[in-house]
Amino acid sequence: MNEISVPRPNSLDAFWMPFSDNRYFKGDTSRMLARAEGMSYFTPEGREILDGTAGLWCCNAGHGRREITEAIQRQAAILDFAPTFQLGHPIAFEAAARVAELTPEGLDRVFFTNSGSESADTALKIALAYHKARGEGTRVRLIGRERGYHGVGFGGMSVGGIGPNRKQFGALLPYVDHLPHTHGLKENLFARGQPQHGATLADALENLVALHGAETIAAVMVEPVAGSTGVLVPPVGYLQRLREICDRHGILLIFDEVITGFGRLGTHFGAERLGVTPDIMTMAKGLTNAAVPMGAVAVRNGIYDAIVDAAGPGIEFFHGYTYSGHPLAAAAAIATLELHKTEDLPGRARAIEPYWQEAVHSLRDAPNVIDTRDIGLIGGIELAPRPGKPGARATAVFRRCFDAGVLVRVTGDIVALSPPLIVERPHVDRIIGTLAEAIRAEAA
């Protein structure tokens, strides 16, 4: 691959990189990505980096899909922007209808946002507005889970359960509780797919109901499979139990499907794969294949009806973004969802899952590996931390992989994998082979 022409920045100073070690990166710029195509990124020098993470869990159809980029270009020439506050443009309605085709039956009302974080905050606000509309305005408590990640808005951050993401930012939202996460049972180590033990961890919700009273609790928000915090796959029966407890007490169940949506688990959404239908679900990432930012929240029709019907004439829900349903994002979503259908991306993910699972678990005997886990096209490989230096071992493995031409993602001492759904066996072999090599080299 030849060197390609991209503008070289004169300075790296101005861009404050998110969730980054800015000083480290700016001192060593070898990890720039300039171009992408199919399963790969390319550095400005033209070095190929096989993408083991679909960007950030988002480029499910692979990179540089012309069906999507051309749809965006066409749309930009037709209608660059129009508001959706008290106005409409056809493509936003069409995009919502396409999303509703894929969501579980009965979750057919779709609110557009620009990101997973905005989707999380929107979902929480919908839950609160719903109870209020039904005359149950005492339901203000929001319940998340330890190690949950719901983005970085104040709602999602507060309901989320990641210490470092919260500690810098003061008091956060009041009236928030957290369920225990579902990870760490010894019997579940090296589980293939959903682990067998731990469904009763959901009963912690009953304890919160007993403590606070159901009449104070609005919603529970969980990721069907927590990705960002290290691939935590729910035990068999856990989500069902959460659903039952929510139903018993009139609590809304929100699934954050930002990672698990659009084929990642071999189904349109995690809800389908895991056999539990939430009341509200958030999405983003794979919705547009990440070619343009877009998020969405799908809600049970009755939730929309309650909020809309309770309002008098005028605005029903005091919430929205300038770019809700942005024409370019809507065009990207429609083109992406078309690809999902024509290429049956969930079906592709299902077809290669057994091979992927074998490959991920083949790492169990590599040095310092203390757990391997998987579901759909997600893999997690947990390494024993270096004494006194949490995260250092996995970070070193990430760097070795990148230098060897494979992109993996690390969170703490866990390597998280989520290749584009177009991944083929030779790619799997290279991702896992390179990772095995890096883990071995790091132990030497």
Minimum separation from the CB atom of position 259 to ligand PMP (A): 4
Q: 149, 255, 269, 356: which one contacts ligand PMP (CB under 6 A)?
A: 149
> Regarding beta strands 295-299 and 48-51, do their DSSP bridges make them parallel or antiparallel, or are they unpaired?
unpaired
Decide whether 131 or 409 has the Cβ nearer to ligand PMP: 409
**What is the CA angle 260-99-93, rounded to 5?**
150
DSSP conformational letter for 235: P
**Segment near ligand PMP (CB under 6 A); pick from 32-40, 144-152, 324-332, 375-383:** 144-152
How far apart CA 352 and CA 429 sit, in angstroms, is 12
Decide whether 209 or 329 has the Cβ nearer to ligand PMP: 329
Q: How far apart are the first and last CA of the chain?
A: 33
For tokens 């020439």, what's the residue? Answer: 77
Q: 151, 266, 379, 419: which one contacts ligand PMP (CB under 6 A)?
A: 151
Spatial CA neighbour of 258 closest among 303, 227, 302: 227
Residues in the chain: 444
**Segment near ligand PMP (CB under 6 A); pick from 35-43, 190-198, 255-263, 266-274:** 255-263
Minimum separation from the CB atom of position 254 to ligand PMP (A): 11
> Quick one: which H or E segment has residue 274?
helix 270-274
According to the binding rule CB under 6 A, does residue 339 interact with ligand PMP?
Answer: no
Q: 63, 98, 150, 427: which one contacts ligand PMP (CB under 6 A)?
A: 150
State the number of binding residues for ligand PMP (CB under 6 A).
14
Q: Can you read off the two tokens belonging to residue 422?
A: 């177009």
Minimum separation from the CB atom of position 194 to ligand PMP (A): 18
According to the binding rule CB under 6 A, does residue 366 interact with ligand PMP?
Answer: no
According to the binding rule CB under 6 A, does residue 258 interact with ligand PMP?
Answer: yes
Spatial CA neighbour of 283 closest among 348, 219, 329, 230: 329
DSSP conformational letter for 111: E
Decide whether 285 or 400 has the Cβ nearer to ligand PMP: 285
> Regarding beta strands 414-417 and 378-383, do their DSSP bridges make them parallel or antiparallel, or are they unpaired?
antiparallel
Going 251 to 257 to 260 to 261, the CA torsion angle's sign is positive
Minimum separation from the CB atom of position 151 to ligand PMP (A): 3
For the stretch 310-317, contacts whose Cβ atoms lie closer than 8 Å and that sit 24 or more positions apart, written own/partner, are: 310/133, 310/134, 311/133, 317/126, 317/129
- 157's CB contacts (< 8 A; 6+ apart) are 150, 151, 165, 166, 169, 172
Spatial CA neighbour of 152 closest among 166, 173, 142: 166
Report 98-127 residues binding ligand PMP (CB under 6 A): 115-117, 120
For tokens 């499907």, what's the residue? Answer: 257
Decide whether 160 or 327 has the Cβ nearer to ligand PMP: 160
Minimum separation from the CB atom of position 384 to ligand PMP (A): 25
Minimum separation from the CB atom of position 109 to ligand PMP (A): 20
Minimum separation from the CB atom of position 13 to ligand PMP (A): 24
Q: 121, 177, 256, 374: which one contacts ligand PMP (CB under 6 A)?
A: 256
Minimum separation from the CB atom of position 357 to ligand PMP (A): 21
Report 61-90 residues binding ligand PMP (CB under 6 A): none
Q: At what angle do helices 425-443 and 345-361 cross, to 10 degrees?
A: 30
Q: Which amino acid is at 281?
A: M
How far apart CA 315 and CA 235 sit, in angstroms, is 42
- 327's CB contacts (< 8 A; 6+ apart) are 75, 76, 78, 79, 80, 81, 82, 89, 91, 92
Q: 133, 222, 284, 297: which one contacts ligand PMP (CB under 6 A)?
A: 284
Decide whether 129 or 284 has the Cβ nearer to ligand PMP: 284
Decide whether 150 or 181 has the Cβ nearer to ligand PMP: 150
The residue nearest ligand PMP at its CB is: 116
Report 205-234 residues binding ligand PMP (CB under 6 A): 223, 227-228
Minimum separation from the CB atom of position 298 to ligand PMP (A): 14
Q: Which chain residues interact with ligand PMP by CB under 6 A? A: 115-117, 120, 149-151, 223, 227-228, 256, 258-259, 284
